[in-house]
């Protein structure tokens, strides 16, 4: 099929413990909450784009295990195509152990597992879909070479690509039409877009500034549950890029901010992401 937004990236099961503070080395402390959520930067971004009403496909690898089966069902529940989701017996579904303290700060250990087995042969099947897509979104929770290959395929299919990647050494993405200045550390996920020249004007600083403003002005009570908010922002930005190609980038970022600001008002990543129906009409 054809998809407006294609995400080539990660899927993790988030195992979240809420505790008064983060434990020190060698220490055991009591927490007061635990839940399991669907996470991973790639899947989070895809789910947010899908919930805003764009046709999406996820390209990823999960384990042939309970968490992997559940994750595939989660994609279906969100209306995301699983045409390019593969299961492997060689590794477990990726997992993120997350501890959140009462200030909303977090510490995260990621075991990427099956995500690291997403390889070049899977991407060959995806190539036609990359050509038809308006936006390709990547992160750095899969092998960097595979991310690079996806970007290259998208570019060779006639698109422009401009990755803005989290903690990415610029050398990882030696694509000629990429704005390397945009590759410095960005604290809120990552994206790669093509067929959108304007995206090359994003700098990590301007984007994270806009985002921080919206968190402080829109959270009026409670603690900001900030992890995963960057993925909501990126997913929303992908949605606006796909569906409103003439909208100024600043306006897309402003609206994506408002979407992400809602996600910090509840715990979890995807569990807190808004759908189109729950958002004010002026965002569309």
What DSSP designation does 70 have? Answer: H
| CA quadruple 42, 204, 126, 120: dihedral, nearest 10 | -90
For residue 109, give Cα distances in angstroms to 17, 36, 46, 95, 160.
Answer: 12, 14, 22, 8, 34
Q: Which is nearer to ligand RIB, 39 or 159 (CB)?
A: 39
Q: Which is nearer to Na ion, 85 or 261 (CB)?
A: 261
Q: Which is nearer to ligand RIB, 108 or 116 (CB)?
A: 108
State in angstroms the smallest separation of the CB of 236 from ligand RIB. Answer: 14
Pick from Na ion, ligand RIB, none: which does 263 bind, CB < 5 to 8 A by kind? Na ion
Q: Which is nearer to ligand RIB, 40 or 274 (CB)?
A: 40
DSSP H helical segments within 116-265, as ranges? 120-132, 144-156, 204-218, 229-243, 249-263
Pick from Na ion, ligand RIB, none: which does 225 bind, CB < 5 to 8 A by kind? Na ion
State in angstroms the smallest separation of the CB of 43 from ligand RIB. Answer: 8
DSSP H helical segments within the chain, as ranges? 41-51, 66-77, 120-132, 144-156, 204-218, 229-243, 249-263
Nearest C-alpha neighbor of 230 from the set 36, 6, 37, 41: 41
State in angstroms the smallest separation of the CB of 159 from Na ion. Answer: 31
| Closest chain position to ligand RIB (CB) | 39
Active site annotation includes 145: no
Residues that bind Na ion (CB under 5 A): 225, 263, 272
Pick from ligand RIB, Na ion, none: which does 40 bind, CB < 5 to 8 A by kind? ligand RIB
- Residues recognised as catalytic: 231
């Amino acid at each position: 099929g054809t998809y407006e937004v294609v995400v080539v990236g990660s899927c993790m099961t988030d195992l979240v413990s809420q505790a008064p503070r983060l434990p020190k080395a060698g220490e055991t402390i009591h927490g007061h909450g635990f839940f399991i959520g669907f996470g991973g930067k790639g899947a989070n971004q895809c789910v947010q784009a899908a919930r805003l009403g764009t046709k999406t496909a996820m390209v990823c690898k999960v384990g042939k295990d309970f968490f992997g089966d559940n994750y595939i069902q989660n994609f279906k529940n969100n209306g995301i195509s699983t045409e390019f989701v593969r299961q492997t017996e060689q590794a477990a579904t990726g997992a993120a152990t997350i501890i959140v303290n009462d200030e909303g700060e977090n510490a995260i250990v990621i075991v990427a597992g099956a995500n690291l087995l997403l390889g070049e042969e899977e991407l060959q099947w995806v190539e036609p879909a990359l050509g038809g897509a308006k936006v390709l979104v990547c992160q750095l929770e899969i092998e960097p070479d595979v991310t690079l290959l996806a970007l290259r395929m998208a570019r060779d299919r006639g698109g422009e690509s401009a990755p803005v990647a989290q903690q990415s050494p610029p050398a990882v993405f030696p694509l000629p039409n990429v704005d390397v200045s945009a590759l410095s550390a960005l604290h809120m996920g990552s994206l790669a877009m093509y067929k959108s020249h304007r995206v090359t004007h994003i700098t990590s600083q301007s984007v994270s500034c806009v985002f921080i403003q919206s968190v402080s002005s829109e959270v009026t009570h409670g603690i900001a549950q900030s992890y995963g908010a960057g993925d909501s922002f990126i997913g929303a930005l992908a949605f606006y890029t796909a569906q409103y190609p003439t909208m100024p980038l600043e306006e897309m970022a402003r609206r994506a901010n408002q979407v992400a600001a809602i996600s910090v008002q509840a715990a979890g990543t995807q569990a807190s992401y808004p759908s189109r129906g729950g958002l004010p009409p002026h965002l569309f």
